[in-house]
Chains A and B, each alone.
Chain A
Amino acid sequence: MKSATRFIVLTLLAVTTAGLQLGHAGDGGGDIAYKSTVFSHASHVDGAGFDCESCHDGMFEMEAGAISANPDFNMNAIYEGQFCGACHDGSTAFAADDDCTTCHTKAGGDILYSEPVKSVLFSHESHAAGFGCESCHTGMFAMEALAAQKNADFTMDSLYQGKYCGACHDGDTAFASDTRCASCHLGVKGYNRSADATDTERGASH
């Protein structure tokens, strides 16, 4: 019964939305959020005065979020003038490698590593104070979440040699990486709890 009601409501919503879109009125697609990144149609159409064809001419699909499925949609492509980089080149608009947090409004959130041991939590939130993205994301850590754990040298020994987290967690800048183990290590229990939480969120959204 409940699901039938939900179906009707969703159908009505879809019909209404479709009806509104028929006119293509206003600034179109609203805010497009992808992971930590937000693209605002309002600030680009109303603010900067572009029309739909400026970008929806083959560069971006009309379908919201479709671009995120494109494996070429990354910062390197943007630096080369593709996608957002077509304008964000430092002359038409601010350079793509200039002001990360304007578009990446949410820092990467919580990164829960599961290799080589389960599990280690890195919180962007608790590290963001006083650091810019480039503090860590220039060679030390790739932007891609969990990329580091694919490296064979992502071990405590590397940390002790000043690599990865060890660049700051050296006992000087931040607590040494051979102390307070369970500050970052959540263990299998922490990992499972996190997986449970994710399941719950997923369950709640359906």
Chain B
Amino acid sequence: MKKQNLNLAEMKNEGIENISLEERRSFLKMGLTLTGVFAGGTMLSAVSSVDKVYASAGEYVEKYPYNPHYSMVIHVDRCVDCERCLAACKKTNDVPEYGYRTNILEREVPNAVGQKREFLPVLCNHCNVPQCTRVCPTKATYKDPQNGIVMMNIAKCIGCLTCQLGCPYNARYFSEEKHAVDKCNFCIDTRLSKGEKLTACSAACPAQVRIFGDLAVPDSRVYRSIHQLEKAVWVMRPEAGTKPNVFYTKG
């Protein structure tokens, strides 16, 4: 089985400053403004001068593929690892003590100037191009055609754990109780379908770290967060080409 491989300390900065010149040039050639936004989960997204969104090189022009298109924007510097989100998730979704649907990574940089510690909440990125669903031999894990949530059908799961290998985000654990892989589903069964607007983790956060919402609504906070120019927004492991729907920003 794959070991926990999300090591924050060894993770590269995936912000705008690491975008290669070549990529910057190819985006500029398209007449778009570089923003560091990863809208729709491509390596870069770009916002044109008329503020239209090109989620990925013309693929999802002005439109997100799902409706509602659930997304989470994580204000990473506000996280203090109080882990109320983890507790709320476990309670809401009946996650066993050994398992996790979301986690908080930690990095310490003793030589840093000022703050020397950083926390990073992680969860399933509900990718637009999920690798887990692609490798699942039984289609037990699938992308919901309506809302884009990466779901589990535990009746079909044979526990081969290929999805764990496929996932670049380590977002899946094997549940002994269910005898199936378990993962974040944005609380669709436990909260959203019951009329709640937020996931358990988002609702439990005392510091407004996890902003949950619908990218298909231009007025939503998540939409506004990733379609602005002032602050860098990034995704985890953009090189995996998964087009995540979990975004990171600061401030």
Contact = CB atoms under 8 A, between A and B. Distances in A.
Contacts of A189: 81, 104, 106
Interface string B205-226: 0110000000000000000000
Interface string A162-191: 000000000000010000111101111110
Contacts of B81: 182, 185-190
A124 interface: no
Contact of A181 (B80, B83, B106, B116): B80
A187 B114 contact: no
Nearest to A116: B206
A183 B77 CA distance: 11
Nearest to A117: B82
Contacts of B118: 182
Interface residues of A, number: 14
Contacts of A190: 81, 117
B82 A118 contact: yes
Interface string B93-127: 00000000000101000000011111100000000
Interface in B45-96: 77-84
A188 B80 CA distance: 9
A183 B117 contact: yes
Given A117-B84, A188-B82, A183 B114 contact: yes
Which interface residue of A181, A185, A190 has the most chain B CB atoms within 10 A? Answer: A181
Nearest to B106: A189
B77 A187 contact: no
B83 A187 contact: yes
Which interface residue of B77, B84, B106, B116 has the most chain A CB atoms within 10 A? Answer: B106
A117 B104 CA distance: 15
A180 B115 contact: yes
A162 to B, nearest CB: 20
Contacts of B117: 182-183, 186, 190
Given A118-B83, A181-B78, A182-B79, 16 more contacts: A117-B82, A117-B206, A180-B114, A180-B115, A181-B79, A181-B80, A182-B77, A182-B81, A182-B115, A182-B117, A182-B118, A182-B119, A183-B115, A185-B82, A188-B81, A190-B117
Interface of B: 77-84, 104, 106, 114-119, 206-207
Sorted nearest first, the 8 A-B pairs with minimum C-beta distance are A187-B81, A185-B80, A117-B82, A182-B117, A180-B115, A188-B83, A183-B115, A181-B80
8 contacts: A181-B77, A181-B79, A182-B79, A182-B117, A183-B117, A187-B81, A187-B119, A188-B83
